[in-house]
Every structure is written in structure tokens, then in C-alpha cells.
A and B are shown apart, each in its own frame.
Chain A
């Protein structure tokens, strides 16, 4: 009973998700990518999903976004089943994917236009441009923006729909180290300001520890959640504090071990 209540209070529920893709060379074969993934996110939680490339992190995010459908299992937003993409689940990719033919302002308000609510809510466009500090670039086209600025536009574009869950697929992966650290603070600031539930896929362990309430570690082939770690450090976190480094060491050791194990399994 307790478990049920917990799931209902959560904003995102993932239950026993399996997903396979046909092997390109042999269409009769299917490769299992995700094998029985289950977890739930409480409202306002920031959870990271880490794991080596090819472990199905991005597939899992696409499933939650509704861009793919699972072979079996259930995906829930509150108590509603996810069947197709919707504005209540925002998705930000590693590539900002701004529409190059729209200015910053029009990119940010794209969601309002798509949902046909621009007339009632257009005053929010200015708020979100201020939120990400880009009001002076309102009329610039994406090719004028730096990588960090473009990603801030992508965040604002996703947030303007007031999503219940924001899915972040390695959003800072393409940025240089300095910009990335600044953007981590930026995302945290947005999270604290708006209390949006966030699921962050990353392969940067430091980023996961620095940002999240919990860290889920995935193993590849097929993708499974091997371990979930609560990060009980006070915010703002110090990247060089002993607790931070100890946690980092634990995770590294675990990931290393899991990686070796999976290689041995494969052999």
C-alpha cells in the first residue's frame, strides 16, 4: 500500500519497461536495449541517469517523451499513461536543435504557438527570455549564438510549456568545461526557481553528483538500472569537498566494476 501511494504522489512512474530494436543487418533479430526498467520520480526531484554510451539512456528518455513506444511495461505521468509526445514532458537534447529559421524569441514561444495558446500567454515569453538572460538577443537568429546561449534558449523553449517533467538528454555534453560548469549552475537555478521535476541523462559523474538528488547507474546490453544512490549533500555543493570526492570514488569504482563485469559477461 505504501508503494502504491508513493507512485501516485510521484510525477513520473516507469514500470517494467522493456524495449528492443531490430538489428539492422538481420531484421529477424531483435536486440534488447532496455530490460525491465522501473523507477519513479517525486514531484520536484532532480534525478540523474548515468551509464556508459549505448546503455539505452537516450532510448529511455525518448520512451518517456513518447517519441517511441515500449515493447512492454507502463509509463505514467501522475496517473495518466504516456502514449504519445506531449507538452507536459519537455525534452532538451545535447544538440539544442533550435529552429534555425526562427529568432530567439520565436524559438522560445514555439511551444505556445504549437499549442495555440500564444494569444493568452505571450506575456510569458519575455519572462522566460529574462529567466535565461537572453532578452537582448530576442531578435538574433540561432547561428549567431554560442553553444551555451543556444542551450539556454532550448531550456527556455522547453520550460515555457510548464512541463511536469523536464527530460534532459546530455544537455551540456557538447559544451566546453567552463561553459558546462556555468550551465550546471544555470540549470540548478532554473530548477530551484521553477521546481520542475527533472530527469538528467549524463555520462559525467561529477555533473550527476553536483546536480542531482539521486543518481541511477545503468549498465549496458541490455540496459538495466544497477544501483540508485541518494546524494545527501547540502546545496550549493562544493566539487572538491571530501564528501563529494568520496561519493565520486564510490561511483567510479562501481561503474568500473560493472563495466568489467559486462565485458566478462559478453565474452
Chain B
């Protein structure tokens, strides 16, 4: 039992204490106490891992960069100097601030790995040119594109955000209303569910030819397609959440004197919120996809458009720069939705693990 516990812990603990535990296969009590003391400080290995990785990646780059234009190397080198500088500041700050220390302990392996993989990327592309060239630029070239084209990238991000939010909010609103109606009312369910089951699974992007004909402007049709992509999962999950409301909650509410409005808005909908959030997450994923496809096909702005435009000019550094922005942009929105869910479902903590 105890040994099992030890080996399980050593897997999740940071490398330096993992080594310690591996050399002590039994579970001696003094050792455990010692380990606790060690954990309260951030080990020097954890403090040095990130700056060392940065210096290694920089050294790799400088080694190969003798023949490259100085400008590329400059911003890339500066990037690593910044990492070293920030780690030095954090190493001092963590001595006085406990939450920062545990955050650093947790994130240290990931950051180290990420920086080292930058070095690996550099070796494969910029160093030995193992991959065909205009298509796979090195990290320094991508960073330079990111910096030099920042105005257009910012503008594209802004347009993508506006389009995404307008389409998503319309889709969520309509999806919630149709989901609640289908989930609550038997006749609406009878007529609505077959329609939902037949039309819903068609990917929104398959409607693009039709949307181009119907709608006056590409932006409006793109927003409509995003809304459609969001509408299906939100409707489906809302309807199932509403119709699966525990009958005893409704019984209790009715014996407390509840009318229909209370049963729908204060019992069925709150009970369906966990399900509704699953629909919102699925819809968000579908909306990202639809957004990028719509932008690269019809809309003349946004990150999707930027990617296909940069590809047209064979500027692959910019393509990767846009991908990096997209990753940050989409994961930020996803994180925000997670935060909203955690706030709204605070009553569920301990009931359901997410």
C-alpha cells in the first residue's frame, strides 16, 4: 500500500525529488519529513532549468547563424535574454511569495521542455535544413514575422474576434431557446427533434456555397455559418439537459406551489446548466473551425484570411506567426469559458469532477 503510494507520488513530483525517492524504495518516516522540508523551498535545479534551457537554445542558434542575416538573430537572441532575465527576477520574487513558488514548481518542466523544443526546431530547420525550405522556417524567422507584421496581425485578430463573438452569441442565444423548447415541450420535441437530428450533423462549412448565394455580404454569411455551427450542439445538449431534469426536483417544486415559469426557469434550466456548458464548449470548438474556414474562403479579413494570404506570397514565417496568434487567441477564449463555468457551477464542486 505505502510503496504504491510512494511510486505514484514520485511520478507527479518534480524531477529533483523524484530522484530522491527512487533511491529510497521503502517509505522511511524521517525521509518523508525531510522531503516535506525540501519541498517548501524551490530547488536550485528548478530555478536553473529554464534559464539554462534558454541559453542552450540560444547557443544552438548562434552556432548555426554565422551565415544568416544579423537582424533575425538579433530579435531571437533578445527573446532568450529576456527569458533569462525574467527567470532571474522570478527566482528572487518566489522567495517572498508562496503562490508564485508553487506555480514555478509546477510549470518549470513544461517551460523547460518548450524552450528546448525551440532549440530542436532550430536544429532541424535553420541548422541542418532537413525540411524543405520556404515551407519550414526556423523559430527566429517566425519571431521576426511576428514582430514585423504585428500591426496587420493585431488587426486580423480583432476582425476574427468580432466575427467569432457575433456568430457565437447568436448561435448560443438561438440554441438555448430552441433547446429549452425542445427539451420542455412534448409537441415541439416531436416536430423539432427529427429536424435537429437530420440537419444538425451537417458541418456548417458544407453550407458555404449556399450561404454565398443567399447572403448579401461575406461577413454576414460567415457569422451565420458560425451561429449554425454553434446552434446544433448547444440545442442538443440543452434539450437533453432539460428533458433529463430529475422528476423529483419538479415534484418538490410543484408541492411548494410552483407554476410553469418557476419549473422551467428555476428548476429545469439550472438543472441543465452542466449539460448546457458541454454544449457551449462543443459549440466553441465548432465555431473556431468555421471561423477559420469562412475567413480563408470568403471573408477578406481575420486570421484565417491572413494565413491564406501569407501562403499565397509563400511567406511561411507569417503563416506560423498567425498560427501562434490563433493558438493564444483560441485558448484564451476557451479559458475564459472555463472560468465562467467554474463560477456558475460552484454548487457542483465535489459533486462532479471535470
Contact = CB atoms under 8 A, between A and B. Distances in A.
A86 interface: yes
Contact of B270 (A84, A99, A143, A157): A99
Contact of A86 (B248, B257, B266, B267): B257
Interface stretch (B9-17, B321-329, B342-350): B342-350
B248 A110 contact: no
B347 A101 contact: yes
Contact of A91 (B255, B262, B266, B267): B255
Interface residues of A, number: 30
Interface in B102-129: none
A100 B253 contact: no
Contacts of A90: 255-256
A175 interface: no
Nearest to B252: A97
Given A100-B351, A141-B346, A91 B257 contact: no
A115 B257 contact: yes
Contacts of A84: 254
Interface string B260-276: 00100011001101000
A161 interface: yes
Contacts of A115: 256-257
B249 interface: yes
B347 to A, nearest CB: 5
Contacts of B253: 110, 114
Nearest to A110: B256
Interface string B230-258: 00000000000000001011011111111
Interface string A78-102: 0000001111011101010101111
B252 A101 contact: no
Nearest to B254: A85
Contacts of B262: 113-114
Contacts of A97: 246, 248-249, 251-252
B241 to A, nearest CB: 12
Nearest to A93: B248
A118 to B, nearest CB: 12
A114 B258 contact: yes
Interface in A243-260: none
A58 to B, nearest CB: 11
Interface of B: 246, 248-249, 251-259, 262, 266-267, 270-271, 273, 346-351
Given A66-B254, A89-B255, 18 more contacts: A65-B255, A67-B251, A84-B254, A85-B254, A85-B255, A86-B257, A91-B252, A93-B248, A93-B252, A97-B251, A99-B270, A110-B256, A110-B266, A143-B350, A144-B350, A158-B255, A158-B256, A161-B257
